[in-house]
Every structure is written in C-alpha cells, then in structure tokens.
Chains A and B, each alone.
Chain A
Amino acid sequence: MAIHRVPLVLLACGSFNPITNQHMRLFELARDHMHSTGQYKVVGGIVSPVSDGYGKQSLVLAKHRIAMAKLALQSSNWVTVDEWESQQPDWTETVVTMRHQYGRILKEYEQRTGMHNNFNGNTTFLPKASPQLKLLCGADFLETFKIPGLWRDDHVEEVVGRFGLICISRGRLQPDRAVYESDVLSRHRQNIFLVREWVQNEISATEVRRALRRNLSVKYLIPDSVIEYIHQHNLYTDESERRNKDTVLRPLTKQAQQTVKSLDD
C-alpha cells in the first residue's frame, strides 16, 4: 500500500461554445501535473457549461453546448459533463457551482465508504482522506479576478482558500505574476497549482466559431462528432454570433445588485 494520496476531482467552468480539443487538453495536463506532485490521485473531471443566463455574446443554447461536450468526451474515460449549472435559470457564481459539485462528491464518497464500513461492522469514520475539488482554468481566468465588479471578494477567497485552483498557462500570459499581484491569491499560494503548457495550443472557441462562420475547416481542432453536430444544427452563423450582443454580462449586473443591497442595509 502506497502512501495515501488525496482523491481529487477537477472542475472546469466555462461557456464551452463549442468545446474544443484544447479544453480537453487542459484536463490531461492538469491530471499529469497533479499526479506528479505525488500527493493527489485524480479520480474524475467535470465539464460544467455555463447557463444561458450568462448573457455572453454569441452563446448558443445550453442544450447544444451540453450535447457537444457529451459527444466530445465520449472518448474520455475520466472526464464527464454535468448539466446542473447549465440548467439554472440564472447565471450561477462559480463558487456556488463548486459548493454544489463538492456536496455531490462528498455524498457519493460517504455513501461508498459508509457501505464499506457497514460491511466491516465498523461505525462511522472515514478511513482515508476525503476527496477534494479544485477548479481547473486557463491563465486568462486568473486575470479575471482583477476585473472590477466581476468577482466578489469572499467568493475569490472561498474558491482559492477552501477549494483550490489549477491554472494552465498558455503562451505569453504569466500566471505567477497575477498571483503575485493579488493579495488574496498570494495568501493562498500553496493552493494554486500553476501548470506550464509547453506546447502552444491556442485553439480558442472564438477562433473555431470564426472559422465556422467563414466556412473554413475546423477538423482536428474539435472532434469529428462535434463538427457533425454543429453542421446538423447549423449552430454557428453570423446570426448566432450576434446573440446577446447588447446584453451586459450577468455577473456584472448580479454583483452590482448585491452591492446596492448591501449598501441599503
């Protein structure tokens, strides 16, 4: 029996509009990195597409984004899609999604270990380290913490303090700088794992949509099954690109409302 490694689930939140090979690479890179620390055993990955309430320009319907993510992840034996966030009528704060997912993971874990304990005739104690949940993100994500009004301070605190971050750096972005420049992030430095991606692989969903609108090939950037789905439903067009064009991003309005409320109190 080796030393107990902490079971770890990786959660990626985002638009997935559409999911690309790059999104799935992030999971592979993160898992390799966390295993190489010798402290974690990655037991699962969750893709959680944002709900339609997010109000981001060109966001196609969640049911399509979910369907594409499911198709893309058919070939993975450890990453799955979870629909909870996408089904919420309003946009959900990332930390709320994390609480929900973590609750679900803990419940599953307790059920499993509980059954195991009953079999041994033991009472309730959790033998091994209980699972952890960490947020998986690209380096650009760290930069969003700086955008005024986008994040609530207590939420940032909870995401990095209670859960933890795994951040994959792409190209020129310097995630260590973003950590250094933020007091909250610095304080939780040991809970932020920076993974360097040596292969530059900048397949952004924006580029994929642009190519699709222009009728250019996106083969080998996203899985064939996803390409088929996109063509079948004619998902990305000039028209779809204009969706939510003049809408303010929901996090900005939601946070603002809450700020006003707290001022009123």
Chain B
Amino acid sequence: MEGPKLTDVVLLACGSFNPITNMHLRMFELARDHLQDTGRYRVVKGIMSPVGDGYKKKGLIKGSHRLEMARLATETSDWITVDSWESLQPEWVETAKVVRHHYEELPAAEQNNDDVDTVKYAKKRRIKENYFKGSSHQKSKERPQVKLLCGADVLESFAVPNLWKQEDIIEILGHGLVCITRSGCDPHKFINQSDVLWKYRNNIHVVHEWVTNDISATHVRRALRRGQSVKYLLPDPVLRYIKEHDLYNAESEQKNADVVLAPLQRFTGASSS
C-alpha cells in the first residue's frame, strides 16, 4: 500500500453566494476531481465562506440568509461545508486574511490514515474525525494546504487597480489557487502576462470546465425578480427558503445601490492618505 505521499488540501471558496447556485457547487466537484487526478493531492474538505454584509455589494442580502442557503445547499454533500467566520465579521475582511484564518484553524497534525475514501461517507462526523484525530501524540504529518477556489474572473481581477493589495495577492498565491475556467478561455496567457502570477504559476491550478454551466447568481436574482423559474439552477431547499423569506425582489436589488464596494473604499482611501 505504498503510494506516493499525498498532500492534503482544503478547498476554500470566498464569495457573495447571493444566492448559492449549482454552479458554485460544481466548482468544488471539478476542483476536487482535478487535484486528485494529479496524483499528488487528497482533497479532505471544502469550505464555503460567504462574504460579510460589510462588503457593500449592490443587491447583497443579509449574511444570515446567504449562510443558511449555503447550508441548505451543501446538505447533500459529504465533503463541502459552510463556515460563518467571514460573514460574522462586522467589517469586510480581505480574502488573504480569510485564507490565513482557515489555515491557522487547521490542526497542525493531520493524521493521514490509509482510508483514502474518507470524504465519501457520513459527512460531518467524518470531516470532523479527519481533523481532530491524531492532534495530540500521534506522529505529526504536514498540515493540509488551504487553496483558494475561484473562477477565472477572480484571477483576472488581480489586475484591477485598487481591488487587491499586492502583498495579499502574494499571500494567496503562496497558499495556492485553483481556478475554474470555461473551455475556450485561456488563463495561461493571463498568467504569463503578469509577473506575480507567473512567479507563482506552479501554485495556480487551472481546471477546465468542459461543460459550460454559466449559472450566475446575478441571473438567478434577475429571474426571481421577474417571476421566472429557477428550478434546477439551484437546489430545491434553497428555492423553498428564498420563496419563504421573499428574499430577492426589486427592493433587495437596490441594497447598497450607491455605495462604493468595501475593498475599493479601503484601498483607494489608503493610497490617497
């Protein structure tokens, strides 16, 4: 049973999840398949971290609702979890800090037992066991890596002025990035054109989504406002929750309508002072 040593990976997705859609969930599945296919990684857990209300994005509804919808959506997954830390922060938190937080939260000693299929059964219990087992006196192994899971748009947003701090980009890339891209797009070109991305190119995993599945949350909200069906674009329990709480309407879309996005506020403010 002597395989090559596998590095444990936790996949972290940050975003509005306003609302969560099947595409968000697909990204996790695609990323896990891709990383495990390299033969170098074992994906032990997925974390979905909805952004806090302080992000001030137009149409962003309350964090508590977005959190609950994400929980409902991941109920049928045996490895994707939802974490509330980021959404509970009173102010917007830089993504680099969220990655750092989750990295530091991980138990230093992860016991790598021979049960490779750990992630497949009895979700919460097994995910927990995976983490707390072996934390004391067993011989310690490497701590899992936390890799940020994102769409190609995030990679491209690194080039938008004042959206990211340079040291944050470096910190995130140091942990690693898994970037899902549509077939037809070529992020390699983009990576090549950026010095910092090129430097960390070995830490950027590009996953091709061959099946185009472009369910954006924006589209879902638009359809909901117009009374059109969004069934099969997001899980039924989420749909029920949205209807029950009448979450998305013309009024909710006007939230933060004239407010500058928190990262832009913070970094343009910082650079001018």
Contacts and interface: CB of A to CB of B under 8 A. Distances in A.
A156 interface: no
A238 interface: no
A24 B232 CA distance: 7
Nearest to A202: B212
B93 interface: no
Interface string B199-229: 0000000000011111110010000000011
Given A21-B22, A203-B211, A217 B232 contact: no
B214 A200 contact: yes
A219 B214 contact: no
B243 to A, nearest CB: 14
Nearest to B214: A200
A198 B33 contact: no
A58 interface: no
Interface string B220-248: 00000000110111001000000000000
Interface string A12-25: 00000000011011
Contacts of B25: 219-220
B117 to A, nearest CB: 13
A204 B231 CA distance: 18
Nearest to A219: B29
Given A201-B214, A204-B211, A220 B26 contact: yes
B229 A198 contact: no
B251 to A, nearest CB: 22
B219 A199 contact: yes
A207 B210 contact: yes
A216 interface: yes
A207 B239 CA distance: 26
Contacts of B76: 224
Given A25-B232, A207-B211, A199 B29 contact: no
Interface in B13-27: 22-23, 25-26
B30 interface: yes
A32 interface: yes
Contact of A202 (B33, B211, B233): B211
Interface residues of B, number: 24
Contacts of A103: none
Nearest to B213: A201
A28 interface: yes
A200 B211 CA distance: 10
Nearest to B236: A75
Contacts of A41: none
A221 B216 contact: no
A217 B219 contact: no
Nearest to B182: A200
A19 to B, nearest CB: 11
B32 interface: yes
A238 to B, nearest CB: 18
Contact of A217 (B30, B212, B215): B30
Nearest to B235: A220
Contacts of A75: 236
A221 B33 contact: no
B33 A199 contact: no
Contact of B212 (A21, A76, A200, A224): A200
A134 interface: no
Given A31-B229, A224-B76, A198 B26 contact: no
B233 A199 contact: yes
A31 B29 CA distance: 31
A203 B213 contact: yes
Contacts of B23: 220
Interface in A174-223: 198-204, 207, 216-217, 219-221
Nearest to B231: A28
A198 B219 contact: yes
Contact of A201 (B30, B215, B229): B215
Contacts of B236: 75
Contacts of A224: 76
13 contacts: A21-B22, A21-B232, A29-B229, A76-B231, A199-B219, A201-B212, A201-B214, A202-B213, A207-B210, A207-B211, A219-B25, A219-B77, A221-B211
Interface of B: 22-23, 25-26, 29-30, 32-33, 76-77, 210-216, 219, 228-229, 231-233, 236
Given A76-B231, A219-B77, A220-B26, 4 more contacts: A201-B212, A201-B233, A217-B33, A221-B26
Q: Which 5 A-B pairs have the closest CB atoms?
A: A28-B229, A217-B29, A21-B232, A220-B22, A200-B214
